[in-house]
Amino acid sequence: MKKMTTKMLCVLLALCMCMAVLPVVASASGEYGGKTVVLFTGNVRGNIDVLPLIASVRADFESQGAEVILVDTGNFLQGTRYATFNSGSTMITLMIAAGYDIVALGKYDFAFGTGTLGTAFHGDAIEFGPLGELLEMNPSLQAVSANISGENAYFHSFTSNTILTTNSNISLGFFGLTDTDTASSVLESNLTGLRFTNPTEAAVEQGLELVGYDLIFGLSNASVSDIPGVIMLDIYPISVPGVVTVGAVIIDNETLDYTVHDINLEAFSPDADVLAAVNTFRAVVESAFPQVGYSNVLLDGSATANRSGETNLGNFWADALRWFAVSGEINAYFGEDDVDAGNNRIHVADEYIVSLWNAGNLRDFLYPGDVTIQDLRRILPFPNTVAVVYLTGAELLEQLEASAQGLPFSYDTFALTASFMHVSGIEYTIDTSRAFNPGENFRDRIWYTAASVERISITSINGRPFDESALYAVITSNANFNGMDISYVLEARVNDTENWSTITTARVVDHAVMYYIASLPNATIGADRVAVQERITTEAEVQQPLSPTEVRMIIGEYGFSAQGRTFTSDVAPFVDTDGRTMIPLRTVAEGLGASVEWSRETASVIITTYEGQRIVIAEPLIINSRTFVTVEFIAETFDVDATMEGEVILFNW
């Protein structure tokens, strides 16, 4: 490998608008003869308007004698309705037209999941193809990520690195790094078979593997810098689409000296051919695919999160349904027979209107950026309609009791917790330390009716005291009205003596949720939606105290005990391919009275024991955003006894 001169080996690029520190503009013919230019972008996020300008920059360098390689550091998809239109298919085509050679994978590039909208069961499935299939169909665009191992049916056709040799016989190695936050920002089922490893460790390994090539580039969105022998182009993902970073690494072909520049796109005119393709596509999208609104935040579509308790997505979705009723928008969607019978409105005051939405029908994340009907249909792929069900307070309490029978969430209760209800207009508490009292089996399913109310207490309804005898209008889906999961109380509606309960013609997505977004200021889901709103409280006091000097875990199970209490983790111990038992660090460390912190600056984990001792793990094993360590590490670090009894792991002190 040729020796570098005084140029620094690593460059950390700040997140900024495309402002030039050192603009590169055409000036004299042949100015870049004898040069190779690595033109790079980051956080394109579906911004089709930038592509004709990028193509123009590439052409400008080439017209002055440079050989140009165009790369992206990740997060090129999602963000705009143009990328969403066909799950990124045309976006990739336009990037190839603009001249892109290599892309790293970022978390937003996983946003379209399976690439399918709707369901085959309902006959409305639309297949656009997942990212892996799109990359396979477009082999001229090489995708790289060195810290993702494995593949599945949706995400494949990428490699750890790729090598390009220029016409001047310069060999350039490129590898990609993906933000490990991807694992917690994408629907779990879409990532089956994929493992996200420590990006810094992966970068070091790539630097060693690619030794011998003239220059090595790391295309990163994982906050990794200062890797020996590697030119790191690291552009961390941001939630605001349109803020694109553009720069160039200009290499002298003889000496391999290089300089790094920001590019001012305002100094360029768009490439005519790429602009024409973009405008043609824009016209198609805008004529057929109106934008619903915009989101400034990520709404959590994790199946684990939504089946475990309150989430910002569950709150948002339930709020949309309640708003649809309170606003009066629902009145236009009562069926003809209902209208003829005088059932053309909600028959209780606003303070008695609530909504319920089951966790199993929250199927994906809502990402920051343009919100389209396709984004909403990824969350709810079914053609559900809005239903109004009138229940007494006692019936509402029983329905919530039955719906929460699968809690606390674990791998074993995953299916049961599909019935867990997210709410609007209700504050309630679940005491999961108390046992659910099952009644009769419901329709030969896995659920049982509630023989009594043991675990649920309703704190308030729309800020007012809860009244078991009051009549409440529950806004939900037709599926719940018809008894989906364990919605037997909603189906029975025993005390609706006026027979007001009904299924409207309003679609949940097309009307209730879309109209709700349109009603928000600037049709924007704002920052107030980041946090949950403490509508649902989970209590888990232990009735039978366990040993206060023991941490007990079981391989493959999410529940554990520590300090005489029982808890549920979102990850479980496992045995790796080398036969080592790996356990989640934070779970055990906090059970032993320690604290665990993640340092983004150093990509390391810092443990502070209860005695104040600080321990740094420089190269942690991270899976699904959780650090795993061996049983032996815990025993040595905390000076505790570790024993294995079959699948059971015990730490005693």
Indicate the range of 188-192, 270-274, 318-322 predicted with least confidence.
188-192
Phi, psi of 146 (to 5 degrees): -90, -10
Q: Residue 419 burial by CB count (10 A; 0-12/13-18/19+): exposed, middle or buried?
A: buried
Domain boundaries, the chain: 10-114+128-287, 301-539, 550-652
- Could you tell me which CATH number the domain at 301-539 has? 3.90.780.10
Pairing label, strands 550-554, 648-652: antiparallel
Token pair recorded at residue 328:
């009066």
- Please give the pLDDT value at position 565: 54
- Please give the pLDDT value at position 88: 93
pLDDT band (50, 70, 90) for residue 103? very high
Site of tokens 């659910």: 436
For residue 413, CA distances in Å to 562, 584, 600, 647 come to 21, 20, 34, 19
Q: Compute the average pLDDT of residues 389-394.
A: 97
Q: Which amino acid is at 57?
A: V
pLDDT higher than 90, residue 652: no
With residues binned 3-state (H G I as helix, E B as strand, rest as coil), the percentages for the chain, rounded to 5, are: 30, 30, 45
Q: Compute the average pLDDT of residues 362-388.
A: 95
- Please give the pLDDT value at position 601: 64
pLDDT higher than 70, residue 80: yes
Dist CA 36 CA 70 (whole Å)? 11
Site of tokens 């308790």: 309
pLDDT higher than 80, residue 253: yes
End-to-end CA distance of the chain: 53
For residue 242, CA distances in Å to 289, 298, 342 come to 19, 16, 50
Indicate the range of 1-10, 63-72, 109-118, 388-397 predicted with least confidence.
1-10
Sheet of 369-371: strands edge to edge? 369-371, 293-295, 524-525
For residue 631, CA distances in Å to 256, 641, 653 come to 47, 10, 14
Omega into 408 within 30° of 0, i.e. cis?
yes
Phi, psi of 107 (to 5 degrees): -65, -35
pLDDT band (50, 70, 90) for residue 543? very low
Phi, psi of 273 (to 5 degrees): -65, -45
pLDDT higher than 50, residue 16: no
Higher pLDDT, 561 or 393: 393
pLDDT higher than 90, residue 151: no
Phi, psi of 589 (to 5 degrees): -60, -45
Dist CA 151 CA 554 (whole Å)? 28
pLDDT band (50, 70, 90) for residue 158? very high
Dist CA 407 CA 94 (whole Å)? 47
Phi, psi of 155 (to 5 degrees): -125, 105
- Of 244, 255, 180, 249, the C-alpha closest to 217 is 249
Contacts 24+ apart (CB under 8 A), 564-572: 565/540, 566/540, 566/542, 567/540, 567/591, 568/308, 568/408, 568/409, 568/410, 568/540, 570/304, 570/308, 570/626, 571/623, 571/624, 571/626, 571/628, 572/411
DSSP class per residue in 339-376: HHTT--S--S-GGGEEEEEEGGG--S-B-SEEE-HHHH
DSSP class per residue in 374-434: HHHHHH--S--EEEEEEEEHHHHHHHHHHHTTTPSP-STTTTGGGGPEEEESEEEEEETTS
Site of tokens 């490998």: 1
The CATH topology of domain 10-114+128-287 is Purple Acid Phosphatase; chain A, domain 2 (3.60.21)
Higher pLDDT, 565 or 91: 91
Instruction: Note whether 10-114+128-287 and 301-539 share their fold.
Output: no
pLDDT digits (tens, 9 = 90+) for 427-474: 999 999 889 999 999 999 999 999 999 999 999 999 999 999 999 999
For residue 78, CA distances in Å to 181, 375, 599 come to 16, 10, 28
Q: Compute the average pLDDT of residues 215-242.
A: 91
Phi, psi of 624 (to 5 degrees): 50, 45
The region that residue 556 occupies, defined by phi over 0 for left and psi between -120 and 50 for alpha, beta otherwise, is left
pLDDT higher than 50, residue 593: yes
- Please give the pLDDT value at position 74: 97
With pLDDT > 90 as the criterion, what percentage of the chain qualifies? Answer: 67
The region that residue 129 occupies, defined by phi over 0 for left and psi between -120 and 50 for alpha, beta otherwise, is left
Are the CB atoms for 472 and 500 separated by under 8 Å?
no
Dist CA 603 CA 225 (whole Å)? 10
Dist CA 191 CA 183 (whole Å)? 8
Dist CA 233 CA 251 (whole Å)? 15
